[in-house]
Amino acid sequence: MVNAWDCLRSVPDPEIPVVDVVSMGIVREVEETPESVTVTITPTYSGCPAMYEIELSIREALQSAGHTQVEVKTKIAPVWTTDWITEEAREQLRSYGIAPPERRCASGNDLKTPACTFCGSEKTRLQSEFGSTPCKALRVCLECLQPFEHFKCI
């Protein structure tokens, strides 16, 4: 039987399929006993209506790996922060064309202008607070003039 954490790493984030629910920091705890698996998840942005979908995908992934008893719990405190996104997932976001959120943004430190995902220039400007989803803002690079999305930090 595949280890529960490894199963969960194969569950993509429904909105950004290049990253998974573990590297996004959505999966907080996994309790595995010989009979059952209990997964605790914390929703990301409240505006992202994907939690139900994530729960279903988690169940499906674990059950198809042979974990028949699966419980998914939702924990809303502490509130999810983009600081929980792993370094690896940040790189995956960048290569997917989404500027990753800044580090330690929850505490208000280290706020920088997100760099262009095409040329790396930091001369970018906010085009719209909302991109394809409420989680993302739309920015434009002032050097190469390409628009790109920025995963807003919370």
Q: Is beta strand 136-141 parallel, antiparallel or unpaired with respect to 147-151?
A: antiparallel
Residue 80 or residue 151: which is nearer to Zn ion going by CB? 151
Residue 51 as a binder of Zn ion (CB under 5 A): the answer is no
- Close Cβ partners of 78 (under 8 Å, ≥ 6 residues apart): 42
Among 81, 86, 113, 121, binds Zn ion (CB under 5 A): 121
Residue 79 or residue 145: which is nearer to Zn ion going by CB? 145
Residue 119 as a binder of Zn ion (CB under 5 A): the answer is yes
Residue 141 as a binder of Zn ion (CB under 5 A): the answer is yes
Contact 124, 116 (CB under 8 A): yes
Site mask for Zn ion (CB under 5 A), range 59-98, x = bound? ----------------------------------------
Residue 105 as a binder of Zn ion (CB under 5 A): the answer is no
CB < 8 Å & 24+ apart, contacts of 115-120: 116/141, 116/143, 116/144, 116/146, 116/148, 117/148, 118/144, 118/146, 118/148, 119/143, 119/144, 119/146
Query: How many Å apart are CA 84 and CA 98, to the nearest integer?
Result: 17
Provide the minimum distance between the beta carbon of 103 and Zn ion in the complex, in angstroms, as a whole number.
Answer: 21
Provide the minimum distance between the beta carbon of 123 and Zn ion in the complex, in angstroms, as a whole number.
Answer: 8
Sites of contact with Zn ion (CB under 5 A): 116, 118-119, 121, 141, 143-144
